Every structure is written in C-alpha cells, then in structure tokens.
Chains A and B, each alone.
Chain A
Amino acid sequence: QKEVEQNSGPLSVPEGAIASLNCTYSDRGSQSFFWYRQYSGKSPELIMSIYSNGDKEDGRFTAQLNKASQYVSLLIRDSQPSDSATYLCAVNLDTGNQFYFGTGTSLTVIP
C-alpha cells in the first residue's frame, strides 16, 4: 500500500472555478502535511503546510486536514490559468525524517 495516494488526474476546471485536490495517507502516525506545486520541468514549490485538523487558508488556497479519515485536501478558489501545474501532497511522520510524496495531480485551468 502506498503511503500517500493522489488521483493522478488530469483535473480540468474552468477559469474562476474552485479546484479541489485530494490526498489520502496510510500511516496514522503522520503529523505534518504539505502541498507543493510543480510546473513542468521545474522544481516543487511549497504552497501550504498544515499540522492540525481543520482548515487553513492562505489567499486563494485552503488546506483541509482530517486525521481521523487520513485525508488532506487543497482547494484553489478563483482558479487561474497560471495555476495549471501538478500538485504534490507530502506527508511526514513526527518522528521520521522522510517526506512521503504522492505522485501528484495534474491540474489544467481552462481560460
């Protein structure tokens, strides 16, 4: 069983819509959760980190964490064509050193 799973997509949304990206993880000991954005041919860029159950908002981005369901999501409001990228979910055990990355969800925002 993969540690972190994401729907590979592609996910297409029209400009201005809400994009919803989902991620599940297998290890209940996971404590830290991250969303990265990766443009084609570029390196991952940190968008959000979340450590507690609930929602965390930063501009157009909202991360949601539900540890009981082992589920973390990223909402992008008012999606823009520049948001078109692959979004990587990453999970870290509090006592561990590794980040476990999902394979990413490809998002396309259609103008």
Chain B
Amino acid sequence: NAGVMQNPRHLVRRRGQEARLRCSPMKGHSHVYWYRQLPEEGLKFMVYLQKENIIDESGMPKERFSAEFPKEGPSILRIQQVVRGDSAAYFCASSPTRLFHSYEQYFGPGTRLTVT
C-alpha cells in the first residue's frame, strides 16, 4: 500500500491521558499536514511539517498539542492531558515537494480519537 498510513485508526483515552497519533506519508512525499475534523464541521488545518522541521503550526492550539516529523520514522501528533473537546477525527495528508508546484494533498484514513 503506497498510500498515506495512519495509526491507530481508533483511539480511546480518558481525560488527562496522552494521545499519540502517527502518520507515514506516501512514498516520495516529504510534506506532511495534520488536520482536525469535528462532527458536521470542515477540516481545520493544524500544522505543516517537513522532515525535522515545523514549517507552519499556526493552526495548532498553543497548549497540550505538539507535532514532529523526525528524520527517521513517522510524523507524530501528540496531545497531552486530553479533554473531551479533543474528541475528533484527525487526518494526516502528504504532498510531494513543492519544487515542482505540485500542491495536491493526499489524505490518510484518519484516527478517530474519543476522550471519555
């Protein structure tokens, strides 16, 4: 499967626990984006990363949320001390290098986070 991979697909956490969401981009893609989607709402941009760099985190809440894309391994979105309002679908998307003006983003299957 050469598509964007995310795991876990479903994650249940109790309030106050930490949630770690993982994303492996499509082969050959070096740009990763994280989005959050609440029920009946649109996709909200959170953060844009390249390998070892956070390029744009303007959509990320200032507290409890962090993201990384290490040199080796998947991108990780971390939510500390989760609250019920964090329950949502979190989607990762990847795109090839923008050098060739290809801005198309391809989405993974998402992680459904439920905070109890």
Contacts and interface: CB of A to CB of B under 8 A. Distances in A.
A44 B107 contact: yes
B103 A92 contact: yes
B104 A97 contact: no
A92 B59 CA distance: 15
Contact of A98 (B59, B91, B108, B109): B59
A111 to B, nearest CB: 26
A102 B43 CA distance: 8
Interface string B54-79: 01101100000000000000000000
Contacts of A99: 33, 43, 45, 105
A34 B43 contact: no
A45 B56 CA distance: 23
A102 B109 CA distance: 19
Nearest to A2: B42
Given A43-B110, A88-B43, A32 B59 contact: no
Interface in A56-111: 88, 90, 92, 96-104
Given A43-B91, A97-B56, A103-B42, 8 more contacts: A32-B103, A42-B109, A44-B43, A49-B103, A90-B105, A101-B42, A101-B44, A103-B41
